[in-house]
A and B are shown apart, each in its own frame.
Chain A
Amino acid sequence: MNWFCFVWTVLFSMVWQCPAAPSTPSPTAPGSTAQDEVECPSNCVLLIYSNRSTSEAQDPLVMTSTELNPDHYEAQRAAHAVRYYLNTLYGTPFRQLSFSKVHQARTEDLGEAGMKYLLEISVKDSLNKSSEKLCSAEVVYPRGETQQPPKVQISCAASLQLNTSAEEEDFYKRYSAADSAVSGKDIPDSYGHVDPEMVPFWKLAGVASTFIMLNESNENTLYNLAQVAKITQLESQNGQLRLEYVVLLHDMISQEIIRWKMLVSWSPAEGVKVSDTQLLPKCHCKPPTP
């Protein structure tokens, strides 16, 4: 008899459609990554994230001029700064630069002028996966109480210059149409999935984020793009595609997820430009009292 009731219930539910359960967190849930504007419920508190606290959390690095283990974190963090720099110059929705290995690394203490890292790194180009370029790079982290971006130089910069690809032109034309209004959220989703159509927008977010990451880098940070929280296409201006992004950046050292809003414009001719960056406060919500 119980089985009969079950069958009935299941068939019944097929006739009357139940509303589908939401698959992403509700936008009003506290701490949800689906939020873009700072909409904290009333039992929550807004906290401006301060990345100055990370330098308290770590013992100060002690070195003058030293040979570094290229696999250890000091050299790795500097190599990431080079990665950010390269992408601000040459990154596009269809081309990203990274490094596969640090071969050699050492530091030079420049005193007041800062700490210089000298690296030999293999640069990878997503457009040409089979070959890597061995480059020499320098990263100078300034000294001081307030965050200032490191200055980066790399020997092989000129050789990384490339012409626009057909793929870029097609993408640009397609989304330059007057009625184009791309939007999206939570990319990748919780399961790591990215809609194929959204992949270039995801990659563009990665490139654009490197502008912020480079600005925010110091010897105690290591940033990756964790997720695109929100993307909204704005009206094109002066031949540039324009998109407003809210991105979540992950800092490996503090383990914080930091929310940034930014305005990104791109065209094959002009490359990626980032403006109006805005650090978004974090919601901290106490769980409901039982």
Chain B
Amino acid sequence: MILLWEAKMKGLLVLLAVSVAVFAKESFVGDQVLRITAKSETELVLLKELSQLEHLKLDFWTEPVEESLPVDIRVPFHSLQPVRAFLAYHEIHYNIMIEDLQALVDMEQREMINTRAPEPRSTDDFDYANYHTLSEINSFIDLLVRENPNLVSKVVIGQSYEGRALNVLKFSTGANRPGLWIDTGIHSREWVTQASGTWFAKKIVTGYGTDAALTAILDKFDIFLEIVTNPDGFQYTHSSNRMWRKTRKPNSGSSCVGVDPNRNWDAGFGGSGSSNSPCSETYRGPYAHSEPEVKAIVDFVKSHGNLKAFVSIHSYSQMLLYPYGYTRTPCKDQAELHELAKKAVTDLKSLYGTSYKYGSIITTIYQASGGTIDWTYDQGIKYSYTFELRDTGLYGFLLPARQIIPTAEETWLALMAIMEHTKNNS
């Protein structure tokens, strides 16, 4: 207990020293801090005399007040010899508390720098191989824009139910271009998708001007990327429930919260493949586009009017899916979308051997009504796809962070296949 107090006192005193050093820019090289506990009135008087010797420039951290209370003295390097001689002559016992004050100050300085919360100062410092919080991702977005003002801008397309900005990154090299849309994180527990989204953002800025295929795409199209499409849900997965999927809007007349944003779109809304119970994970909502997170995208798509591809990214299952989810009637571009999906998953597999299934939503995974890409396809955005990223169930939503970058890298190849085909056929 005493030791702890002493350690803390020492720490406090060092703190004082450092603050003095910082303020006065003084050096403590070779200085020592001696601790003396006077055993008699005589010794106490001697210590008081010592403190009067101005030329020694002694710095008493605690004053000689009474016997048995320790007296701490910072002795500058040049005064060490005379002070030690003085103490030895009078047989005053002392301990060396700090052997080299400057060394200790330096060490504390270094520790201070290391324990400061590592806020990346550039998107080159951002840790893509890890999962991040909502505020870290929003900081990343602002950093990316600041670093690439001629290529990247932030478009706020609306607000979530709880008032969070719905941020979309716009990558553009010229005005009045057709657009390609990518969203991640519409289901908040699918963490590998938001993480991949940040990687995609960085990939685009580093690839423009260096990667011929990407540069050709960006010279014709704008890319829109919404990384955290469901920020309220995402915040909730960090603060309360890692397995939260839906939005966080309360449902009137129910104690259950949230709507499945991928059942809330006006495409086969209300049909089989979604639930009418607010407590269900696939609750469709009271009406189509009831969720502000969905409505914001709907409004953006309609007002933009010239999107040519729309990719909505989920996890898990390792699938690449095209419309429809709400009906077994094949979409009219089924053959082309199927062929393109085949090429995209082949490219994806080429990197790490990851196998994807592909096909329409309703045949491949399940019936789902009110889904995103059914709506975007019926709006005329032909190249509408949904990804289900890694894995196939071993880790599921809890994909280890070490798999983020490999997942993002392989998925990027599939995205490039889709974007290139869109470019060559629009």
Residues of A within 8 A of B (CB): 4, 7-8, 10-12, 14-16, 25, 29-33, 43-45, 47, 53, 57-59, 69, 71-73, 188-193, 224-227, 248, 250, 252-257, 282, 284-287
Q: Give CA–CA (A202, B394) in the complex, Å.
A: 11
Q: Name A24's closest neighbour in chain B (CB-CB).
A: B242
Q: Give CA–CA (A234, B265) in the complex, Å.
A: 49
| B347 interfacial by beta-carbon distance below 8 Å | no
* Cβ–Cβ contact A188 & B400, under 8 A: yes
Q: Name A74's closest neighbour in chain B (CB-CB).
A: B363
A sample of 13 cross-chain residue pairs with beta-carbon separation below 8 angstroms, ordered by A number, consists of A4-B22, A8-B15, A10-B115, A16-B8, A57-B280, A72-B363, A191-B398, A224-B396, A227-B243, A256-B280, A284-B254, A285-B255, A286-B255
* Cβ–Cβ contact A33 & B359, under 8 A: no
Q: Give CA–CA (A286, B278) in the complex, Å.
A: 12
* Other-chain residue from A73, A191, A255 in contact with B363 (beta carbon distance below 8 A): A73
Q: Give CA–CA (A192, B195) in the complex, Å.
A: 13
Known contacts A58-B367, A190-B131; is-contact A33 B243 (Cβ 8 Å):
yes
* Cβ–Cβ contact A192 & B281, under 8 A: no
Q: Give CA–CA (A110, B10) in the complex, Å.
A: 83
* Cβ–Cβ contact B240 & A29, under 8 A: yes
The interface on chain B, measured as residues whose beta carbon lies within 8 A of the other chain's beta carbons, has a size of 59
Q: From residue A134, how far is it (CB to closest CB) to chain B in Å?
A: 17
Contacts of A248 in B (CB 8 A): 243
* Cβ–Cβ contact A254 & B280, under 8 A: yes
Q: From residue B192, how far is it (CB to closest CB) to chain A in Å?
A: 9
Q: Give CA–CA (A224, B191) in the complex, Å.
A: 17
Please report whether the interface of chain B is mostly helix, strand, loop or mixed according to DSSP. Answer: loop
Contact pattern, B 186-215, Cβ under 8 Å of A = 1, otherwise 0: 000001000000000000000000000000
Contacts of A192 in B (CB 8 A): 395, 398-401, 403
New A-B pairs, 5, CB < 8 Å, besides A7-B22, A192-B399: A15-B12, A45-B256, A59-B272, A73-B366, A227-B243
Known contacts A15-B15, A25-B239, A284-B279; is-contact A252 B395 (Cβ 8 Å):
no
* Cβ–Cβ contact B257 & A15, under 8 A: no
Q: Give CA–CA (A4, B280) in the complex, Å.
A: 54
Contacts of A30 in B (CB 8 A): 240-241
Q: Give CA–CA (A250, B189) in the complex, Å.
A: 12
Q: Give CA–CA (A31, B255) in the complex, Å.
A: 12
Q: Give CA–CA (A59, B363) in the complex, Å.
A: 12
Q: Give CA–CA (A226, B400) in the complex, Å.
A: 13
Known contacts A33-B241, A33-B242; is-contact A14 B111 (Cβ 8 Å):
yes
* Cβ–Cβ contact A252 & B255, under 8 A: no
* Cβ–Cβ contact B248 & A193, under 8 A: no
A16, A189, A224, A282: residue with the most chain B Cβ atoms closer than 10 Å = A224
| B273 interfacial by beta-carbon distance below 8 Å | yes
* Cβ–Cβ contact A45 & B255, under 8 A: yes
Contacts of A45 in B (CB 8 A): 255-256
Q: From residue A154, how far is it (CB to closest CB) to chain B in Å?
A: 20
| B364 interfacial by beta-carbon distance below 8 Å | yes
Q: From residue B131, how far is it (CB to closest CB) to chain A in Å?
A: 5
Q: Name B365's closest neighbour in chain A (CB-CB).
A: A73
* Cβ–Cβ contact B240 & A25, under 8 A: yes
* Cβ–Cβ contact B273 & A58, under 8 A: yes
* Cβ–Cβ contact B19 & A255, under 8 A: no
Contacts of A227 in B (CB 8 A): 242-243, 398
* Cβ–Cβ contact A190 & B19, under 8 A: no
A10, A57, A189, A257: residue with the most chain B Cβ atoms closer than 10 Å = A57
Q: From residue A190, how far is it (CB to closest CB) to chain B in Å?
A: 5
| B275 interfacial by beta-carbon distance below 8 Å | yes
Pairs of residues from A and B, 10 with the lowest C-beta to C-beta distance, nearest first: A192-B400, A224-B393, A255-B281, A15-B11, A31-B241, A45-B255, A284-B256, A188-B398, A192-B398, A59-B272
Q: From residue A101, how far is it (CB to closest CB) to chain B in Å?
A: 9
| B78 interfacial by beta-carbon distance below 8 Å | no
Contact pattern, B 75-117, Cβ under 8 Å of A = 1, otherwise 0: 0000000000000000000000000000000001001100110
Contacts of B11 in A (CB 8 A): 14-15
Contacts of A14 in B (CB 8 A): 11, 108, 111-112, 115
* Cβ–Cβ contact A57 & B260, under 8 A: no
Known contacts A25-B239, A45-B255, A190-B398; is-contact A256 B15 (Cβ 8 Å):
no
Q: From residue A186, how far is it (CB to closest CB) to chain B in Å?
A: 8
| B367-419 contacts to A (CB < 8 Å) | 367, 393-401, 403
Contacts of B115 in A (CB 8 A): 10, 14
* Cβ–Cβ contact B112 & A58, under 8 A: no
Q: Give CA–CA (A44, B256) in the complex, Å.
A: 9
| B422 interfacial by beta-carbon distance below 8 Å | no
Q: Give CA–CA (A190, B280) in the complex, Å.
A: 23
Q: Name B399's closest neighbour in chain A (CB-CB).
A: A192
Contacts of A16 in B (CB 8 A): 8
* Cβ–Cβ contact B240 & A47, under 8 A: no
Known contacts A4-B19, A15-B15, A224-B393; is-contact A57 B243 (Cβ 8 Å):
no
